[in-house]
Amino acid sequence: MTVVAELEDLEGVELVEALQQRFSTVINDVEVANRTLSILRPRNSDDLIREEDFVKDERLPYWADIWPSSIVLAGHMVGLKKPGARVNRKGLELGCGVGLVTTAAMIADYDMLATDYYTDALAFTRANAWRETRKSPDARMIDWRAFPDDVRGFDLILASDVLYEKEYARLLPGIFKRALAPGGMVIVADPGRIGVPEFIEECRAQRLEIRSKVTHPFDAGEIHQKIDLYEIADRNS
């Protein structure tokens, strides 16, 4: 059995322990809304760079860091938790990384499918969600360039800092269109990446409406960013 298969079969404490044995890890306490989330991640993402991944399709392990956009989006999600909210709402995260946003969405009572292009990211996401909620999300490796037809019907789709390549910016609106349930919503967090103009143009082409754009300042040490939260819906639903 491969290491990847072993991680897929583990849950809870066993998964956390397996990740701590396989990686040099650190736990970051992340302040989101009115609570602190304790996030396990690789200590140094540079240690995860593999030449074969980069040669294949220029993959770099961005998933292993906690980005300001994900912190802002996670805070937004935790703030949405309301007593008596409808349960069994389906949520999808595109590019889950170490799972901060998926965990926050589960706290807000969404049944989450976490997706990423790295299987290790899926393992960390399942581990972190379990550490905070004692539940694990569904998890699936997905290539946006070959998005599966059976991933659909979601009340909420989340994505943070995914517009750093123009190719992805053009792909994502079509994915939203196919994967949203009628009446569903997309929330994208972005710090002003290069793909934003193409993304907005493609949303229009897909008849997706940007219903709001709210800018949140983010300041942490030497990091000063403005994170835009876009709420997007299908005009036809």
Q: What is the pLDDT, as a whole number, of residue 161?
A: 97
pTM over 0.85: yes
pLDDT tens-digit profile of 116-172? 999 999 999 999 999 999 999 999 999 999 999 999 999 999 999 999 999 999 999
pLDDT tens-digit profile of 41-54? 999 887 785 655 54
One-letter amino acid at 154 equals F
Contact 68, 191 (CB under 8 A): yes
Q: What is the pLDDT, as a whole number, of residue 207?
A: 97
Supply φ then ψ for residue 223, to 5 degrees. Answer: -90, 120
Euclidean distance between CA atoms 119 and 81, whole angstroms: 29
More confident of the two residues 197 and 6: 197
Q: Classify domain 3-234 at the CATH superfamily level.
A: Vaccinia Virus protein VP39 (3.40.50.150)
- Enumerate the domain spans of the chain: 3-234
Contact 115, 159 (CB under 8 A): no
pLDDT tens-digit profile of 180-231? 999 999 999 999 999 999 999 999 999 999 999 999 999 999 999 999 999 9
Neighbour order of strands in the sheet with 223-234: 138-141, 110-116, 89-94, 154-160, 180-190, 223-234, 208-220
233 closest CA partner among 200, 203, 191, 201: 203
pLDDT confidence of 83, banded at 50, 70, 90? confident
The per-residue b/e assignment along 2-38, b for 16 or more CB within 10 angstroms, e otherwise, is eeeeebbebeeeebbebbeeebeeeeeebebbeeebe
Beta strand segments in 66-132, E: 89-94, 110-116
Q: 89: number of CA atoms within 13 Å, CB side?
A: 20
3-state secondary structure of 94: strand
